[in-house]
Amino acid sequence: MEASRLRASPGPPPPVSSSSLGRLDPTTRLVHGVREPCLKFLSPRSIENLVFPGGTKLDYLVKRITYKSDDNDYDTYHSVANSTYLLQHAESTRFNLFTGFQTLPDREESFKANETVNVHCGFYSDNGGFKISDIDMKYMRSCKVAVSTCAFGGGDDLYQPIGMVNSSIGKVCYVAFWDEVTQSTQESEGKVVDGNGMIGRWRIIVVRNLPFVDQRLNGKIPKMLSHRLFPEARYSIWVDSKYQFRRDPIGVLEALLWRTNSTFAISEHGARSNIYDEGKAIVQKHKATPEEVEVQLTQYRKDGMPDDKRLHGLKALAEASVIVRELAPVTNHFMCGWFNEVVRFTSRDQLSFPYVLWRLNMPGINMFPVCTRRDLVNSLGHTRKVKPLTQTNSESSAT
């Protein structure tokens, strides 16, 4: 069984506070009675002299990843015998020509870590939507380190990154993914993209033909599939649109990945540790219906998912508003699995992260404390309510 579409959260977004905008002061915490910085950051001069490492010292099983598409799956998904199944499957799930039509056996196979893996990971068909211009695609292919955010449906304002050292400016791409609704909303407020496609430090990528009615699910594409969007990049940093990123990206890579010999860094959850408690909280906060959450958790129980507060030595729940990672086959495999779970079930990625963590047992994860996340960003809150899509071409073409 798969979840139906999520209902919208009731009520307007909370008012935005600009009190933290532009702040660079470090976040601190008490350790044995002594106040220490939450993020032990190198000095600007040390960051200027950083050299990208040759790679992690960990030996990962997954060495190569390939992605399913309607070209290599043509016989499976275009046979006459399968056409009725496809229509029924597309109507009852959120799978479409962007995602491909992952079956439960496909799902089970995708969680097997082999030297070479072949998985669904978005961008399944040329007719699947999420269209980006050739000029913008060329720009994204030039990126080696990408800091990205997105605002679809006219949602949040764009906050300029701060805190970077001079040497990082030429090494890092700052990319904001918008749709045409957001572009129109921002232009009406005087925030116009210049002739180079820029607003300040941000390169604005306007995406057309979004593949999902649920805007939260559209937002998972740049959040989780940076390896598909930046195919030549080595590292990516995802920043939620409610935040202003306020630290040097190369310094962040050093602090959260290189120093700890990690390939993936994400914040621990600040309130809960158990996946089943998180499910209850999601329902109580009207982030998903009880039926949707129950479908997901029933499948996880069936698969043997424990209710442990720690998995493989890590806190089970993560808060995914900031994600720092090396774009390596092993982390790409993890993110593909995570993306497929939020398509199959609820859009609440906090609910599916522990499951993917449990299934793949990926080494090299740095789950940092909440106060470290707070040091990376200034939190401004969500600006305005997102406008939902009523229909998308890719969904209509799938049905």
Q: Where are the domains of the chain?
A: 60-398
Residue 20's pLDDT is 83
The span from the CA of 250 to the CA of 49, in Å, is: 10
Residues with Cβ within 8 Å of residue 22, at least 6 apart in sequence: 162, 244, 378
Please give the residue that has the higher pLDDT: either 156 or 375. Answer: 375
Q: What is the pLDDT of residues 36-60, one digit of tens each?
A: 999 999 999 999 999 999 876 677 8
The closest alpha carbon to 334, from 308, 313, 355, 309, belongs to 355
Q: Where residue 270 falls among pLDDT bands split at 50, 70, 90?
A: confident
Segment 62-86 shows an average pLDDT of: 65
- Residue 344 binned pLDDT confidence (cut-offs 50, 70, 90): very high
Give the pLDDT confidence score for residue 356 in this predicted structure. 96
Q: Which class is 60-398 in CATH? A: alpha beta
* Angle subtended at Cα 64 by Cα 61 and Cα 69, rounded to the nearest 5 degrees: 130
Q: pTM here? A: 0.88
* 255 pLDDT more than 90: yes
CA 95 – CA 46 distance, rounded (Å): 47
* Helices 290-302 and 349-360, packing angle to 10 deg: 10
As a whole number, mean pLDDT of residues 306-312 equals 85
Is residue 35 within 8 Å of 28, Cβ to Cβ?
Answer: yes
Is the pLDDT at 109 greater than 70, yes or no? yes
What pLDDT sits at residue 9? 38
Mean pLDDT, to the nearest integer, of 123-139?
A: 98
For 187-219, give the secondary structure using H, E and C: HHCCCCCCCCCEECCEEEEECECCCCCCHHHHH
Q: How far is CA 203 from CA 128, 222, 229, in A?
A: 24, 14, 14
**Mean of per-residue pLDDT scores for the chain:** 88
Q: What is the pLDDT of residue 385?
A: 66
Distance CA 3, CA 287 (A): 13
The yes-or-no verdict on residue 89 having pLDDT over 70 is no
Residue 310 has a pLDDT of 84
pLDDT at 83: 41
